Amino acid sequence: MIRVAVSGINAVDNPGPGVGIAKGIRESGLEVEIYGLAYDSMDPGIYMKWLFSRSFIMPYPSEGEEVFLQRLLYIKHNYGLDVLVSALDAELPLLIKAADRLQTYGIRTFLPTYEQFKLRAKDRLPEVAERIGVKVPETRVVSSYEELVKATNDLGFPVMVKGIFYKAKKAYNVGEATAHFNEIVSEWGYPVIVQKVVQGEEMNVVGLGDGEGGHYGLVAIKKLWITSLGKIWTGVTVHNENLLKATERFVGEFKWRGGFEFECIVSGEDIYLIEINPRFPAWVYFSAGVGVNLPARLLKAALGLDVERDWDYEAGKLYVRYTDDLVADMAMFQSIVLKGEV
Amino acid sequence: MARRYEKPVIHRLHMGHTNKFGFASPYGAKVRKSIDGVPIEELVSRFGSPLFVFSERRLRQKFREVKNAFTLRYPHVEFSWSYKTNYLDAIVAILHSEGATAEVVSEFEYEKARRMGIPGPKIIYNGPYKPIDSLRVAVSEGARINIDTFEEIADLERVADEVGKRPKVAIRVNMDTGIYPRWSRFGFNYESGQAWDAVKRIALGGKLDLIGLHCHMGTFILKPEAYEIETRKLVELAYRIEDEFGFKIEYIDVGGGFPSRNRLKGIYLPPEVAVPPIEEYAERITTALLNNLRPGDYPLLILESGRAIVDEAGFLITTVHATKRLPDGRRGYVLDAGVNVLFTAFWYHFNVEVDREVSGAAEPCVLYGPLCMNIDVVEDRAHLPPLPRGTRLILSPVGAYNVTQWMQFIRYRPAVVLIGENGEVDLIREAEDISDIVSRERVPERLKPKS
Amino acid sequence: MKTGGKLMKLAISDEGFIFDPETGNSYTTNPTGLLILRMLKEGKGEEEIVKALTEEFGAEEEEARRDLYDFLEQLRAYGLVEGV
Q: Is the CB of B272 less than 8 angstroms away from the CB of A340? A: no
Number of residues assigned to chain B: 451
**Considering the domain boundaries, does residue B178 fall inside one?**
yes
Q: Is the CB of A67 less than 8 angstroms away from the CB of B21? A: yes
Q: Tell me the chain C residues in contact with residue A342 when contact means C-beta distances shorter than 8 Å.
A: none
* Residue A333, CA distances (Å) to A46, A55, B363, C47 in order: 9, 11, 20, 35
Q: What is the ipTM of this complex?
A: 0.92
Are B320 and B296 part of one and the same domain?
A: no
Compute φ and ψ for A37, nearest 5 degrees.
-105, 115
Q: What is the strand order of the sheet A159-162 is part of? A: A139-142, A192-196, A159-162, A168-171
Contact of A2 with A81, CB cutoff 8 Å: no
Mean pLDDT of C43-56: 94
Are B191 and B269 part of one and the same domain?
A: yes
Q: Residue B42 maps to which CATH number?
A: 2.40.37.10
Nearest residue of chain B to residue A12 (CA atoms): B16
Report the distance separating Cα A341 and Cα B17, nearest Å: 16
Nearest residue of chain A to residue B271 (CA atoms): A64
Q: Is the CB of B27 less than 8 angstroms away from the CB of A42? A: no
Report the distance separating Cα A215 and Cα A305, nearest Å: 15
Peptide bond into B50 cis (omega under 30): yes
Are B25 and B165 part of one and the same domain?
A: no
Are B126 and B50 part of one and the same domain?
A: no
Q: Is the CB of B182 less than 8 angstroms away from the CB of A63? A: no
Would you call B10 an interface residue with chain A, using a CB distance cutoff of 8 Å? no
Helix (H, G, I), strand (E, B) or coil at A235: strand
Q: Which amino acid is at B199?
A: V
Q: DSSP for B308-319?
A: HHHGGGEEEEEE
CB atoms within 10 A of CB B390: 11
| Through-space distance between the first and last CA atoms of chain A, rounded to whole angstroms | 20
Task: For residue A171, give every residue at least 6 positions away whose Cβ sits within 8 Å of its Cβ, in sequence order, or none.
Answer: A152, A157, A158, A159, A160, A161, A177, A179, A180
DSSP bridge partners of B79:
B303
* Alpha-carbon distance A334 to nearest alpha carbon in chain C (angstroms): 7
Q: Is the CB of A330 less than 8 angstroms away from the CB of C19? A: yes
Would you call C27 an interface residue with chain A, using a CB distance cutoff of 8 Å? no
Find the radius of gyration of the CA atoms of chain A.
20
Buried b (16+ CB within 10 A) or exposed e, B175-199: bbbebbebbeebbbbbeeebbbebb
Peptide bond into C31 cis (omega under 30): no
Nearest residue of chain A to residue C13 (CA atoms): A334
pLDDT at B21: 62
Are B91 and B222 part of one and the same domain?
A: yes
Q: Tell me the chain A residues in contact with residue C28 when contact means C-beta distances shorter than 8 Å.
A: 337-338
Are B203 and B107 part of one and the same domain?
A: yes
* Alpha-carbon distance C68 to nearest alpha carbon in chain A (angstroms): 23
* Alpha-carbon distance C84 to nearest alpha carbon in chain A (angstroms): 30
Domains along chain A with CATH numbers: 2-110+325-339 (3.40.50.20), 138-196 (3.30.1490.20), 199-320 (3.30.470.20)
**pLDDT tens digit sequence for A175-202:** 999 999 988 887 777 788 899 999 999 9
Q: Which residues of B touch C (CB under 8 A)?
A: 1-13, 24, 323, 325, 327, 329, 360-361, 386, 388
Contacts of A165-168 spanning 24+ positions with Cβ under 8 A: A165/A89, A165/A120, A165/A121, A165/A122, A168/A230
Which of A330, A333, A338 is opposite residue C15, by nearest beta carbon?
A338
Task: For residue B373, give every residue at least 6 positions away whose Cβ sits within 8 Å of its Cβ, in sequence order, or none.
Answer: none
Peptide bond into B277 cis (omega under 30): no
pLDDT at A106: 95
Q: Is the CB of B5 less than 8 angstroms away from the CB of C25? A: no
Contact of A3 with A75, CB cutoff 8 Å: no
Q: What is the DSSP letter of A120?
A: G
Q: Residue B200 maps to which CATH number?
A: 3.20.20.10
* Residue A224, CA distances (Å) to A263, A283, A317, C25 in order: 14, 13, 12, 40
What's the domain range around B284?
A: 87-305
Q: Is the CB of B180 less than 8 angstroms away from the CB of A190? A: yes
Q: Tell me the chain B residues in contact with residue C18 when contact means C-beta distances shorter than 8 Å.
A: 10
Helix (H, G, I), strand (E, B) or coil at A248: helix
Q: Is the CB of C27 less than 8 angstroms away from the CB of B7? A: no
- Which chains would you list as touching A if contact means 3+ CB atom pairs under 8 Å? B, C
Question: Among B316-325, C40-49, C73-82, which stretch is predicted with the lowest mean pLDDT?
Answer: C73-82
Are B38 and B120 part of one and the same domain?
A: no
Are B294 and B319 part of one and the same domain?
A: no
pLDDT at B20: 61
* Residue B260, CA distances (Å) to B92, B182, B309 in order: 18, 20, 8
Report the distance separating Cα A279 and Cα B199, nearest Å: 50
CB atoms within 10 A of CB B365: 23
Peptide bond into B131 cis (omega under 30): no
Compute φ and ψ for A220, nearest 5 degrees.
-105, 140
**Considering the domain boundaries, does residue B204 fall inside one?**
yes
Helix (H, G, I), strand (E, B) or coil at A203: strand
* Alpha-carbon distance A330 to nearest alpha carbon in chain C (angstroms): 9
Question: What is the average pLDDT value for chain C, to the nearest integer?
Answer: 89
Helix (H, G, I), strand (E, B) or coil at A209: strand
Helix (H, G, I), strand (E, B) or coil at A114: helix
pLDDT at B289: 96
Q: Tell me the chain C residues in contact with residue B28 when contact means C-beta distances shorter than 8 Å.
A: none
Report the distance separating Cα B335 and Cα A240, nearest Å: 64
Are B333 and B217 part of one and the same domain?
A: no
**Considering the domain boundaries, does residue B232 fall inside one?**
yes
**pLDDT tens digit sequence for A231-257:** 899 999 999 999 999 999 999 999 999
Task: For residue A336, give every residue at least 6 positions away whose Cβ sits within 8 Å of its Cβ, in sequence order, or none.
Answer: A38, A41, A46, A55, A57, A342, B18, B20
pLDDT at B27: 43
Q: Is the CB of B181 less than 8 angstroms away from the CB of A60? A: no
Report the distance separating Cα B352 and Cα B27, nearest Å: 12
Would you call C67 an interface residue with chain B, using a CB distance cutoff of 8 Å? yes
Best to test chain B binding among C13, C30, C78 (most B CBs inside 10 Å): C30
Q: Which amino acid is at A225?
A: W
How does strand B144-147 pair with strand B168-174?
A: parallel
CB atoms within 10 A of CB A127: 10
Nearest residue of chain A to residue C18 (CA atoms): A334
* Alpha-carbon distance B173 to nearest alpha carbon in chain A (angstroms): 20
Rounded to 5°, the CA angle B152-B156-B158 comes to 120
Helix (H, G, I), strand (E, B) or coil at B18: coil
Q: How confident is chain B (451 residues) per 10-residue block, as mean pLDDT?
A: 79 74 52 95 97 97 95 95 98 98 98 97 97 98 98 97 97 90 90 96 97 93 92 97 96 93 75 85 95 95 96 97 88 96 92 88 89 93 89 96 95 97 96 96 92 72
**Considering the domain boundaries, does residue B82 fall inside one?**
no
pLDDT at A61: 85
pLDDT at B16: 66
pLDDT at B24: 40
Give one word for B183, left, alpha or beta, with left for phi > 0 and alpha for psi -120 to 50: beta
Would you call C6 an interface residue with chain B, using a CB distance cutoff of 8 Å? no
Nearest residue of chain B to residue C76 (CA atoms): B329
Q: Tell me the chain A residues in contact with residue B21 when contact means C-beta distances shorter than 8 Å.
A: 57-60, 63, 67, 71, 340
Residues in chain A predicted with pLDDT less than 50, given as ranges, are: none
- Assign C4 a pLDDT band (cuts: 50, 70, 90): low
Give one word for B138, left, alpha or beta, with left for phi > 0 and alpha for psi -120 to 50: alpha
- Number of helices and strands (H, E) in chain C? 4, 3
Contact of C32 with B7, CB cutoff 8 Å: yes
Are B160 and B133 part of one and the same domain?
A: yes
Number of separate domains in chain B: 2
Dihedral of the CA atoms B93, B286, B294, B291 (nearest 10)? -170
Q: Is the CB of B13 less than 8 angstroms away from the CB of C29? A: no
Would you call C25 an interface residue with chain A, using a CB distance cutoff of 8 Å? no
**Considering the domain boundaries, does residue B76 fall inside one?**
no
Q: DSSP for B106-154?
A: SHHHHHHHHHTT--GGGEEE--S---HHHHHHHHHTT-EEEE-SHHHHH
Q: Is the CB of B21 less than 8 angstroms away from the CB of A94? A: no
Q: Tell me the chain C residues in contact with residue A333 when contact means C-beta distances shorter than 8 Å.
A: 26
Residues of B (210-269) whose Cβ lies below 8 Å from A = 266, 268-269
Q: Closest by alpha carbon to A120, among A111, A110, A133?
A: A111
Domains along chain C with CATH numbers: 6-77 (1.10.10)
**Considering the domain boundaries, does residue B59 fall inside one?**
no
Note the maximum CA span of chain B. 87
Q: Is the CB of A337 less than 8 angstroms away from the CB of C19? A: no
pLDDT at B25: 44
Contact of B85 with B404, CB cutoff 8 Å: yes
Are B281 and B214 part of one and the same domain?
A: yes
Report the distance separating Cα B427 and Cα B415, nearest Å: 7
Helix (H) or strand (E) holding A271, with range, is strand A270-277
Peptide bond into A191 cis (omega under 30): yes
Q: What is the DSSP letter of A91?
A: T
Mark which of B250, B274, B305 sits at the end of a domain: B305
Query: How many contacts (CB atoms, under 8 Å) link B and C?
Result: 75
Rounded to 5°, the CA angle A191-A194-A200 comes to 140
Nearest residue of chain B to residue C57 (CA atoms): B5
CA B364 to chain centre: 29
Are B296 and B172 part of one and the same domain?
A: yes
